[in-house]
Amino acid sequence: MATQKQMIEELLNKQKDQGDLLKDIDTALRGPDYDEGDGGLIAEVHQNTQCIKAIKKKQHKIVTWGVTLFGAINLAAVIFTLLSKFRG
């Protein structure tokens, strides 16, 4: 059984390999003379990750407000029903 340190080292090696693979893909797509200082494909992936996080955050807010509004309408309906029951 691998120790935690060995598992972390293996994970870091795999991440490094994936980063190298992304750089190779970026070089293949943009040509051998593109400026790596631009960030290339890795920067685009990071930017897309940030956009996805922002979209999920907005979706979470919309769902939260929708559930709150639905609950408030249901609570008002229950109160109205109870009041009409006791009045009549």
Those residues whose C-beta lies under 8 Å from the C-beta of residue 46, and which sit 6 or more positions away, are 39
pTM for this predicted structure:
0.46
> What number is the average pLDDT over the span 3-22?
87
> What number is the average pLDDT over the span 67-85?
95
Distance CA 35, CA 31 (A): 10
- Give the residue carrying structure tokens 């685009």: 44
> What number is the average pLDDT over the span 43-62?
89
- Summarised one tens digit per residue, pLDDT across range 61-71 is 999 999 999 99
- Summarised one tens digit per residue, pLDDT across range 13-39 is 899 889 888 888 877 777 666 666 666
Q: What is the pLDDT of residue 40?
A: 63
